Amino acid sequence: MSLNRILVPVKRVIDYAVKVRVTGGKIDTNVKHSMNPFDEIAIEEAVRMKEKKFAKEVIAMTVGPTKSQETLRTALAMGADRAIHVEVPEGQEVLPLQVAKLIRAIADKEKPEVVILGKQAIDDDSSQTGQMLAGLLNWSQAAFANKIEVEAGKLTVTREVDGGLETVSTKLPTIITTDLRLNEPRYATLPNIMKAKKKKVDKFTPKDLNVDITPSIETIKIEEPAKRSGGKKVESVDELIDKLKNEAKVL
């Protein structure tokens, strides 16, 4: 069996290794950004399915500001065939429901049989887009996948659930969200980075797709978690006992 098309929505987020800082009630975004790690896994899985001839084409898409094109280039360098950029103004917040509506609009145009996306983005941790998309499209879904097998007319997906693994079979078309252990994404090699430069990126605005992205949720406050007060080294057992008694007052 071979699918015609897999759509992989990806998101540009603050790099996994960067410590997020809040300054003046806002998140400091003047730091390194990369592709959401779960989306990297989604791209990798789609590209592997294509390499195994389970799929003919992999399309990467993103909703984000101009700089999100970098993220699409990474997806293309990893092996996606072409990309779609739904451009929104820098600093514009787009909530999961709006993102899901934008993905639905692209899915309506491109008619993929499978949409694979990260189970959540590591910036807002919403974990809603995939599920909402399944609802909007009225497709089957298998969230938190750690293994995907392709069979005639259906996919068998092993899911990570509390306390173990659950294997489900989903009819096509379907939505899959990726969990951590699904695969290990590849590096972008130079020949592929060069090829990626020549691949096509189509651009849309939310307006082109008839989606209103006015947020329905208002952010009231952003603050950093309370700072942990530093530990202390003690020189001897006596000192430790003394501190436990007199400073921490736990003895």
Partner 1 sequence: MLLRSACRIPKLGRFGLTPNRSISLSTQAVIPTATRYPHIIRDASFKEIEEKDIAFFRNAIKSPAGVITSEAPDELEPFNQDWMRRFKGRCSAVLRPTNSAEVSAVLKYCNENRIAVVPQGGNTGLVGGSVPVHDEIVLSLQNMNKIREFDPISGVLTCDAGCVLEVLDNHLEKQGFIMPLDLGAKGSCQIGGNVATNAGGLRLLRYGSLHGTVLSMEVVLADGRIVELGKPLRKDNTGFDLKQLFIGSEGTLGIITSVSILAPRRPKAVNVAMLGVSSFEGVQELFKYAKSELNEILSAYEFFDRTCLKLVKHHIPGIREPFETDVPFYVLIETSGSNKDHDDEKLSAFLDHVMTEGLVEDGALAQDTTQVAGMWNIRETITESLAKEGGNYKYDLSVPVPKLYSVVEEMQERLASVGLFAKDGSASGRVKHVVGFGHMGDGNLHLNLTSTGWSKDIEKAIEPFLYEVVQRHGGSISAEHGLGLMKAPYLRYSKSDDFIDLMKSMKMVFDPKGIMNPYKYFPS
| Nearest-angstrom CA–CA distance, 21 and 25 | 10
Asked if 235 is part of the footprint of partner 1 (rule: CB under 8 A), the reply reads: yes
- Which one, 191 or 231, has the nearer CB to partner 1? 191
| Nearest-angstrom CA–CA distance, 183 and 163 | 20
Q: Which helix (H) or strand (E) holds 192?
A: helix 190-198
Asked if 37 is part of the footprint of partner 1 (rule: CB under 8 A), the reply reads: yes
- Which one, 131 or 169, has the nearer CB to partner 1? 131
Site string for partner 1, 118-157 (x = CB under 8 A): --x-xx-x--------------------------------
Interface with partner 1 by CB under 8 A: which range of 84-92, 145-153, 184-192, 205-213? 184-192
Bridge partners (DSSP) of residue 203 are 85
| Nearest-angstrom CA–CA distance, 212 and 55 | 32
Q: Which of 29, 189, 200, 241 binds partner 1 (CB under 8 A)?
A: 189
What is each CA distance from 71 to 11, 21, 35, 96, 177, in whole angstroms? 7, 22, 6, 19, 19
What is the SS3 assignment for 241?
Answer: helix
Q: Which of 89, 152, 184, 218 binds partner 1 (CB under 8 A)?
A: 184
- Which one, 34 or 177, has the nearer CB to partner 1? 34
Asked if 193 is part of the footprint of partner 1 (rule: CB under 8 A), the reply reads: yes
Q: How far is the CB of 183 from partner 1 (least distance, A)?
A: 10
Site string for partner 1, 61-80 (x = CB under 8 A): -------------x--x---
| Nearest-angstrom CA–CA distance, 195 and 187 | 14
Asked if 236 is part of the footprint of partner 1 (rule: CB under 8 A), the reply reads: yes
Q: At what angle do helices 129-137 and 96-110 cross, to 10 degrees?
A: 50
For residues 15, 89, 195, 46, the Cα torsion angle rounded to the nearest 10 degrees is 60
- Applying CB under 8 A, the residues found at the interface with partner 1 are 15-18, 20, 32, 34-35, 37, 40, 74, 77, 120, 122-123, 125, 180-181, 184, 187-191, 193-194, 235-236
